[in-house]
Amino acid sequence: MNLKVTGGKYKGITISSVKDKRTRYTPAIVREALYDIISVANKSVLELFGGSGIVSIEALSREAKEATIVEIAKSSCWAIRKNLEKVHSKAIVMNVDFRIAMRRLEEKGKNFDIIFMDPPFGTGLTFEAFKSLDRHNALLKEDGIGIIESFEKEMPPSQGENIFLEKRKRYGDVILSFYKRGVEVENKGDN
């Protein structure tokens, strides 16, 4: 299966995927909607569960400053590196479990404007992704956004100890949950 970049300077470039039944790719309509909601220009992006790297490549196409892609499968990392060559990008690719990557990045004092997590559906990793984002919330810049892609039966919680749900957006059976650092404060007044 080939994926096309939906916008920005690399629009229309074909990105290769990996033939692995565990890998499910973020649909084009969801990628387009995501980048209509958030601006990535001059921002740093961390993509966990990278697959083909398409979400980061879309961000780089839309002028993201830098991208780090984490993927545990060696074959996917190989495909990600090949895809990055197509767009002449030197994004960082980490071939390691997302939990180890988050710990290592936090130990190095790294932080990002946007953290995108797309755990495989039906594996229980959606909740693990949420817990890791909550635990390693210092990876998010103060005004950063953490995004978890899921489906309805595996929706991540609304509130953690260090992050809270800002909003959810649904695209067919795909749901994007947007998180901010801190604890949600209820709005008692009228806007």
* DSSP three-state, residue 39: coil
Asked, for residue 64, whether it belongs to a domain, the answer is yes
Determine, yes or no, domain membership for 191: no
Q: Nearest 5°: phi and psi at 36? A: -80, -30
| CATH (domain of 18) | 3.40.50.150
In a domain, 24, yes or no: yes
**pLDDT tens sequence across 92-140:** 999 999 999 999 999 999 999 999 999 998 888 999 999 999 999 999 9
Residue 67 maps to a domain:
yes
Alpha helices in the chain (DSSP H): 28-37, 54-61, 74-86, 98-107, 125-135
pLDDT given at position 20: 63
- 140 and 166 Cβ atoms separated by less than 8 Å: no
Q: Are strands 174-181 and 140-150 parallel, antiparallel or unpaired?
A: antiparallel
> Around Cβ 189, how many Cβ atoms within 10 Å?
4
pLDDT tens profile 60-92 = 999 999 999 999 999 999 999 999 999 998 899
176 within a domain of the structure (yes/no):
yes
Say how far apart CA 12 and CA 76 lie, in whole Å: 21
Output the pLDDT for position 175: 96
pLDDT exceeds cutoff 90 at 185: no
Query: What confidence score (pLDDT) does residue 186 get?
Result: 54
Q: In the predicted model, is pLDDT for residue 146 greater than 80?
A: yes
Cα dihedral 6/47/164/143 (nearest 10): -80
Q: Grade residue 191 by pLDDT with cuts at 50, 70 and 90.
A: very low
Whether 188 maps to a domain, the answer reads no
| Residue 62 within a domain | yes
| 104 domain residue, yes or no | yes
How many structural domains are present in the chain? 1
Contact 145, 179 (CB under 8 A): yes
Whole domain around residue 21: which residue ranges?
A: 2-181
